[in-house]
Structure 1
């Protein structure tokens, strides 16, 4: 007689591997997306949503690299970037991760949030290093070692945490039951974090806009940082829009469920257009100043030759 104890399941009497058992949970979905993200994708719109979401991760992963290089080259990142910009960005990404986790957003959103936090930590570590170094504080060797260790730690976490989160989805069973009341509180906390995240994201651009305006310059900042961030935010929001259900009632519920993240992505995209305008305006301003300086110096050189 088959065992009818509490651990029995419809798959208990079948002789199959764990991978085969997992595949039965999403038989008509995309195999590679299910294996990578534990997300069951059944139609072409969901498929493209995941692809665009992966592109968004790539944009944000590479967005910081040009700025890290520029900062390393001139060593003046503390004069070019606003600390408020970096801290608000970190606050937005951290609350974004908590909100995605608590409200059970799409797996790719949670994984993306982890990589966001990782890149923020690297940029803030570089900012702190050059800030202290430029003040000529003793013990720069220890400071450099600490910053490198800090960065390595978060790179390691960015590799471990996504896999652990995906395994959590597999190991979630009926014995982890929650009451409707507690589930509501958890989701509400997640949505609050989501809206706080969008406020952080929107607020992060204003310190940088103000710093650029004060300096009348964008020197020391890489435009690729903001260009890739714009592309990343656009593709992130687009990946959510592509999954819109066909039925109007479900569509409204879907939008409400993802509203904080839509506001954060498309709202920051608009503000980054203003930063783009500053890059264009101050570059022209710098060109005009250079031309005026050349006109002032040239007559003096001609007079000296005549004399």
Structure 2
């Protein structure tokens, strides 16, 4: 899943309605209070407000996207037959590099926390895949395997719950006297953003091939891809909506968000092909299941023939 980042504007002191007190901390005068408190962004016009709301919708879709697949895998217990391990690994690698990009480019704290949640859900999907693969390939049930998975998920939960707090505490404050992020670190962060986009794009191809090889999408939840499509679409829209309100260069703004836009819109296009597979293979499944319905109509005729021959 592509990271739902909020479009961050380059601050132009001469053009933004911001006053700077003696302590050096900028204060937003006409901005929306809840956005200022939650996202530390000064939003003072309708375009920026719509961009933030759409960005929150995008983030919410991504947060929910993996949960239906977790439930589907728990319900049928055959996740290794339905899901491609390459899909899970590329998805996990994309979220890791996206987290590195968000941290190195000093993105919003809520974005860092959200990416950590993505990594957590990825770990659950990978753990489920490995658990059911080992369990289904083994001839006897092993209680040690179950306890090992519980301990692994518990340890990962504790680490990932503590990680955002540590990162936010160690992040630079909003004080204008603090030194800015070095250019090399920022460039490294954007390189990580492009790598994340490549990983996200590559994640769909193993799953597309897996579905084509099986001629079926059984065992995978379509909500995983539907919510990802909604998240990627709304993220691209949140970037486009804010363009009329920009006071700086629109070209530099697009370049700054280009890596995440490529990942979001590219994955959105590939998920349309996944949707087509769900439609096509569902028709094949319904056609196969309708064939045995003609058997009960034949059975009474055969019984009548047997009774006539006995007479």
TM-score for the superposition, normalised by structure 1: 0.82
Q: Tell me how far apart the structure 2 counterparts of residues 32 and 38 of structure 1 sit (CA, whole Å).
A: 9
CA deviations 1:221-250 (Å, max 9, x no partner) are 111111111111112222222332546961
Contact between 1:53 and 1:108, CA under 8 Å: does it hold in 2? no
Q: Tell me how far apart the structure 2 counterparts of residues 269 and 88 of structure 1 sit (CA, whole Å).
A: 16
Q: Tell me how far apart the structure 1 counterparts of residues 117 and 161 of structure 2 sit (CA, whole Å).
A: 9
Is the alpha carbon distance of 1:216 and 1:174 closer, same or farther for their aligned partners in structure 2, counting shifts above 3 Å? Answer: same
Is the alpha carbon distance of 1:173 and 1:157 closer, same or farther for their aligned partners in structure 2, counting shifts above 3 Å? Answer: farther
1:47 paired residue among 43, 46, 49: 49
Gaps of at least 5 residues in structure 2 are: 1-20, 307-311
Aligned residue number for residue 100 of structure 1: 102
Return the offset for 1:266.
Answer: 0.8
Aligned residue number for residue 17 of structure 2: none
Q: Tell me how far apart the structure 2 counterparts of residues 186 and 97 of structure 1 sit (CA, whole Å).
A: 14
Alignment of 1:209-224 (within 5 A): 209-224=208-223
CA deviations 1:45-84 (Å, max 9, x no partner) are 2222222222122212221222111111110011000000
Contact between 1:55 and 1:232, CA under 8 Å: does it hold in 2? yes
CA deviations 1:159-206 (Å, max 9, x no partner) are 44445544555636578636xxx8221122111111111111111000
Return the offset for 1:130.
Answer: 1.1
Aligned residue number for residue 305 of structure 1: 303
1:10 paired residue among 22, 25, 30: 22
RMSD over aligned CA atoms reads 2.7
Q: How many pairs does the alignment contain?
A: 285
Contact between 2:45 and 2:245, CA under 8 Å: does it hold in 1? no
Aligned residue number for residue 186 of structure 1: 185
Q: Which moved more, 1:99-108 or 1:159-168?
A: 159-168
Q: Tell me how far apart the structure 1 counterparts of residues 206 and 291 of structure 2 sit (CA, whole Å).
A: 31
Alignment of 1:277-296 (within 5 A): 277-295=276-294
Alignment of 1:1-307 (within 5 A): 10-11=22-23, 25-105=27-107, 108-136=110-138, 140-168=142-170, 171=173, 177=179, 183-244=182-243, 246=245, 250-295=249-294, 297-298=295-296, 300-306=298-304, 307=306
Is the alpha carbon distance of 1:174 and 1:30 closer, same or farther for their aligned partners in structure 2, counting shifts above 3 Å? Answer: closer
Return the offset for 1:271.
Answer: 0.4
Relative contact order higher in (CA < 8 Å, ≥ 6 apart)? 2
Q: Tell me how far apart the structure 2 counterparts of residues 303 and 196 of structure 1 sit (CA, whole Å).
A: 66
Contact between 1:205 and 1:272, CA under 8 Å: does it hold in 2? yes
Return the offset for 1:94.
Answer: 1.1
More helix by share: 1
Q: Tell me how far apart the structure 2 counterparts of residues 281 and 275 of structure 1 sit (CA, whole Å).
A: 10
TM-score for the superposition, normalised by structure 2: 0.81
Return the offset for 1:284.
Answer: 0.5
